[in-house]
Structure 1
Amino acid sequence: MAQMNYYKDRVVLNVLGGSVENARACYEAGEGHVAVGVLTADYPSVEAYVEAAGPYMDALEGNLSAGLGGGNPAQWRAVAEVAKHVHANHFNQAFCAVGWTRANLGDADCHVNAMVSPSGKPGYIKVSTGPISRDAAEPALVPVETGIMMVKEMGGNSLKFFPMGGLKVKDELRAVAEACAAQDFILEPTGGIDLGNFEEILCIILDAGVKKVIPHVYSSIIDKATGQTRIEDVKTLLAMVKELV
């Protein structure tokens, strides 16, 4: 298995693979600077996902991103259980289940993110993103710096900031980026990112000094007729990255 590029490249794209062939094409179009998401929500059971993951792992040199599915925290257990059997190089997880997932990975050197949400107040993030806590009348809002420390304690590697709605929370994104830069932490901007706003979003994060960024670009570059990620769009995103880094 190839080591994920997260730790040697400043920017690694995260896109969805509609099939093994589409995933391989995305990986090649991204010249290896990409993790390809396969969602647990698309499979009826953990066993079915584990069986399907093999060909993806081979095609992607291990750079599979085990996903929840639209940030659905109800899938947290499925992702955590997959971690016992598939040592993909990237796992998406709700904040509450980062520690569970890390424990299931054992000694495997895999990346686990922690899904946190905009709070409405720059400098703070919502960490109550689990299937029960997300509906709490009083959400758990903590300073970004504190949230990062908690994720580190649980064995997480990054903040997945979702849902951003593109540039709707620009001020909050900048504050999150500044905190990640200060604590040498990886940031994964997610939600509403497309070819039109990708560059501005990435600039905000890079200008803040974040050393490692994993932007998720999903539905906006998927061909709705085929369900496949458009390869030319992956090439376009990579070209933008090369211009900025």
Structure 2
Amino acid sequence: MKLEPNYLPNGICLNVLANSIENAKACYAAAEGHVVLGVLTKNYPTDEAAIEDMLAYQAEIDNAVSVGLGAGDPNQSGMVARVSKQVQPQHVNQVFTGVGASRALLGQSQTVINGLVSPTGKVGWVNIATGPLSSQAPSAEVPIATAIALLKDMGGSSIKYFPMKGLAHIEEFKAVAQACADNDFSLEPTGGIDLENFEEIVSIAVNAGVKKIIPHVYSSIIDSATGDTRPEDVAHLYEIIKKF
């Protein structure tokens, strides 16, 4: 079973949400497998229900499962770690403080685990207080390079930069991208990314020299009537990432 995301040769892999196994299969096909499909723990009442469903997804999309929190909800951190241990997915979304537990429970180094850090309004600094308790406390603002070092210490693979609010924090994002490139760390821009700003956001990371990039595109490509991620939009995003 493949434990690493299926990156393009340029180091880019998409991350979109799946509303059902059929929706996941359609989006997986639309990106020719260069995608991880987010399944949110918040949508399940128990660990067992989430594990059962995610294993079913896993069988249909060659394990391109991304175990999600649910809008970055820190209270899902423990469930994500426990479920990931059983599922052994290609990708895990975590708040900053949940990375170490997730890596330890996974028991292997291939699965990508991101650590959520947030914009601060100050270029070069990020907020790492994104856990269940720390997110309720005053922010903990540290230099980006320090956040990356801490994530490496915990077994993390990448920075999940959220919420970006599209291009609202673009100068801060440029500094984050440069730090990831300088420190050989992966980057996952998240929040407010749509078909219009996607290329600009990804190009910043590519031009900085980030080796592995997993952009998250969520609500902007979801059909509000069905809740499905639109495969045609995934195909459009895939055409964009192939250009890099």
Bin for the TM-score computed over the shorter chain: over 0.9
Q: Which moved more, 1:167-176 or 1:201-210?
A: 201-210
Q: Structure 1-normalised TM-score?
A: 0.96
Q: C-alpha displacement at 1:84, in angstroms?
A: 2.1
Match of 2:198 in 1: 198
Q: C-alpha displacement at 1:125, in angstroms?
A: 0.6
2:173 is the alignment partner of 1:173: yes
Is contact 1:112–1:156 with CA below 8 Å preserved after alignment?
A: yes
Is contact 2:177–2:205 with CA below 8 Å preserved after alignment?
A: yes
2:108 is the alignment partner of 1:97: no
Match of 2:38 in 1: 37
- Match of 2:28, SS state, is helix
2:124 is the alignment partner of 1:123: yes
Q: C-alpha displacement at 1:9, in angstroms?
A: 4.7
Match of 1:143 in 2: 143
Q: Structure 2-normalised TM-score?
A: 0.97
C-alpha separation in 2, matches of 1:207 and 1:15? 23
Match of 1:83 in 2: 84
C-alpha separation in 2, matches of 1:71 and 1:159? 13
Match of 2:189 in 1: 189
Q: Which moved more, 1:101-110 or 1:16-25?
A: 101-110
C-alpha separation in 2, matches of 1:108 and 1:160? 18
- Match of 1:92, SS state, is strand
C-alpha separation in 2, matches of 1:32 and 1:114? 24
Is contact 2:8–2:242 with CA below 8 Å preserved after alignment?
A: no
Match of 1:241 in 2: 241
Match of 1:154 in 2: 154
Q: Deviations for 1:20-79, whole angstroms, at most 9, x for unmatched residues?
A: 010011011001110000000011111100011121001110110000000111100110
Give the letter for the 1:212 counterpart.
K
Q: Deviations for 1:221-244, whole angstroms, at most 9, x for unmatched residues?
A: 00010000001000100111112x
- Match of 2:214, SS state, is coil
Is contact 2:167–2:197 with CA below 8 Å preserved after alignment?
A: yes
Give the letter for the 2:91 counterpart.
H
C-alpha separation in 2, matches of 1:78 and 1:47? 10
Is contact 2:28–2:34 with CA below 8 Å preserved after alignment?
A: yes
C-alpha separation in 2, matches of 1:172 and 1:108? 29
Give the letter for the 1:182 counterpart.
D
Q: C-alpha displacement at 1:135, in angstroms?
A: 2.2
C-alpha separation in 2, matches of 1:189 and 1:206? 12
C-alpha separation in 1, matches of 2:53 and 2:86? 12
Is contact 1:35–1:63 with CA below 8 Å preserved after alignment?
A: yes
Q: Which runs of 5+ in 1 are unaligned?
A: none
Give the letter for the 1:221 counterpart.
I
Is contact 1:87–1:108 with CA below 8 Å preserved after alignment?
A: no
C-alpha separation in 1, matches of 2:97 and 2:34? 28
C-alpha separation in 2, matches of 1:149 and 1:10? 21
Identity of aligned residues (%): 53
Report the number of matched residues.
243
Is contact 1:124–1:144 with CA below 8 Å preserved after alignment?
A: yes
- Match of 1:217, SS state, is coil
C-alpha separation in 1, matches of 2:76 and 2:47? 10
Q: C-alpha displacement at 1:108, in angstroms?
A: 5.8
- How large is the RMSD of aligned CA atoms in angstroms? 1.2
- Match of 1:229, SS state, is coil
